[in-house]
Copies of this chain bind each other. A is one copy, B any other.
Amino acid sequence: MANANKKARGLIEGRPALIVIDIQASTFADDSAVRSIDNMPGYADRMLASRQLIDAARGADIPVIFIQEIHRADLVDFGRELDGDEDVHCLDTNPNTEIAKKEMGFVDGDYVIQKRRYSAFYGTDLEILLKGLKAETLILCGGLTDVCVHYTFVDGHQGDYFCRVVEDCVAGSSTEAHGAALKAMEYLQSGAVRGLDETLIAMAG
């Protein structure tokens, strides 16, 4: 199908913000055999690649927003999240729920948004922060491609943001689900799925 009304868009339109989704200490803890959430092969390496985006953002004065999935230890806020494939995860009493500060080069004063659901917009102050930053383009990295990244993209899209996802820096619950989610995001905004190299160039520009 041809969308005759589609406008050409740059990788970055207006002011950008980098959204780092759920890269937490648990990602790099050596317990991969007993994960509460499935991961595709190469997961940790793709998360580590996000560090290049973070460093580039700092160099270009692009705000970095870390999203942290976190649940109350009495399980009161899981809603329907335990009715599916995911087991109990990201309890606020577990040290591995912390942002992966060392690997990501986190510094004091960095923006952190805690969330209870998959979308980083749902029940959080992300929209307040983005309005304050006057951000128009959201550059997404982190995981899972097919859950928190996908659904954050959708809410950003519905909220009129230009949304980009860096395919080298996201990973899914499976390789298949990762690929399907990338296609779904590309359906919503043409040119949404981008490579790391071109993104680094655009951020520097």
Identify the A interface with B (CB < 8 A).
1-7, 9, 35-38, 72-74, 76-80, 82-88, 109, 111, 115-119, 122-129, 131-133, 146-147, 150-151, 154-155, 157-163, 173, 176-177, 180-181, 183-184, 186-190, 192
Q: Roughly how many angstroms separate A157 CA and B116 CA in the complex, as a whole number?
A: 12
- Taking the closest CB of chain B, its distance from the CB of A43, in whole angstroms, is 13
Copies in the complex: 4
Partner of A86, one of B3, B80, B146: B3
**Majority secondary structure, A binding face:** loop
A161 / chain B contacts, CB cutoff of 8 Å: 80
Whether B128 and A77, one on each chain, are in contact in the complex, defined by CB atoms closer than 8 angstroms, is yes
20 contacts between A and B (CB under 8 A): A1-B37, A3-B36, A3-B84, A5-B88, A6-B87, A9-B83, A72-B111, A73-B109, A77-B125, A79-B131, A84-B189, A115-B125, A118-B158, A119-B154, A122-B158, A123-B125, A177-B180, A180-B180, A180-B184, A181-B184
